[in-house]
Amino acid sequence: MLEKIKSLSKEYFPDTVKNRHHLHQNPELSFEEKKTSAFVAAELRAIGLTPREGVAGTGVVALVKGENPDSRVIALRADMDALPILEQNEVPYRSQNPGVMHACGHDVHTSSLLTTARILHSISHELEGTIKLIFQPGEEKAPGGASMMIREGVLQQPKVDRIIGQHVAPNIPAGKIGFREGMYMASTDEIYMRVHGKGGHGAAPHMTVDPVVIASNIIVSLQQIISRNRNPSYPSVLTFGKMIAEGATNIIPGEVYIEGTFRCMNEEWRAEGLEKMRKMAEGIADAMGARCEFWIVKGYPFLQNHPELTRRIRRHATEYVGPENIVDLDLWLAGEDFAFYSQITDASFYRLGTRNEARGIVSGVHTPTFDIDEAALEVGPGLMAYMATQEVVS
């Protein structure tokens, strides 16, 4: 089975690259993936599968059924959306949609899973169980396409026993695969504050309630919640990246607007920390004669890789690419809506190396020069197909 899958992944490699180029040239933003969705559905039909379209708006789902389809269901997920970035790469497959770019590798994920589907369908007579293929919209934008697909029953009918996700890794050489058990990626909440004071002349601060000073106190004080209230076992980050005070050198404004992000890896601490921040911000403002509006836009939960499942797929990957091509991943406090799946069923999210320093392919995700060493596209589809074939029988 392993050698057959490797051979098919190599045979289909030119088509994988072709599909990736098409997707890269035609990127669409979150929840706007209409042409992408239609392309995916058409490719699945050409393979011989029957896609279900319109899940969570633009999502697509298909099933590859083995000889005993009711025995176990393994889901494989790829995201399809792009980012609002103007591409700077001078390549033949450069984005033709100005200001929109596949700068996070979702074109890689989608083209890879299409080839995985093709491999699995071609050997379906040798498979057990059912493999559910999830092409998901809107990973880059809250509330996250994963949460919406879950609400529409993507993990049911048939019920998914496990789910596996793949993501590019520009910090890992192409051909290598990264894994981490347990906590891996962070929850992502947005924090917004508006501090209302009383403006006035900069030379007469005693006649004002200075919201700049008060907002500054709030920002500094909130960091103490992370350093003094958090259990050190749970990584957390609190960052404020935007502060608007529309005053001048001699004008104290009437209000200050603040934006930040809170990230952590424990859902109980997430709720507790946010509530402490709200109380502290409001309390400091009140004590200094001002008023603080504090509101939260909840993002994705933290991503937990199921330890046993991760150990198994790591073993499958070792069989597929060799132990010298397996690497350990560090904690990463970025967010990923695959986390919604991990909160419901056994899930594991691994990384596909795409870096090639000799060719200058080193840019990180979410940058206008992000690209991949397409040698990874020969490895990715077959690896995921092999993982799925092993998981439906384990």
- Active centre residues (catalytic): 81, 139
Residues forming a β-bridge with 242: 259
Q: What does R_g of the chain's alpha carbons equal in angstroms?
A: 24
Query: What is the three-class DSSP state of 100?
Result: coil
Q: Is 137:197 a contact under the CB 8 Å cutoff? A: no
Q: How many C-beta atoms lie closer than 10 Å to residue 206's C-beta?
A: 6
Based on the number of CB atoms within 10 Å of its own CB, is 220 exposed (0-12), middle (13-18) or buried (19 or more)? exposed
What angle (nearest 5°) sits at the alpha carbon of residue 226, between those of residues 253 and 240?
Answer: 35
Residue with tokens 């997707």: 23
Contact 30, 145 (CB under 8 A): yes
Nearest to 236 by CA among 198, 274, 208, 205: 274
Burial of residue 46 (number of CB atoms within 10 Å: 0-12, 13-18, 19+):
exposed
DSSP assignment of 317-333 equals HHHHH-GGGEEEPPPB-
| Dihedral over alpha carbons 383, 47, 112, 344 (to 10 degrees) | -80
| Paired strand residues for 16 | none
Using alpha carbons only, what angle is made at residue 256 by residues 255 and 261, rounded to the nearest 5 degrees?
A: 150
| C-alpha span between 260 and 272 (Å, rounded) | 17
Strand ranges for the chain from DSSP E? 52-55, 59-65, 73-79, 130-136, 162-173, 177-179, 182-185, 189-196, 200-201, 236-244, 251-252, 255-264, 291-297, 303-305, 326-328, 346-355
Helix axes 34-47 and 13-25, enclosed angle (nearest 10):
160
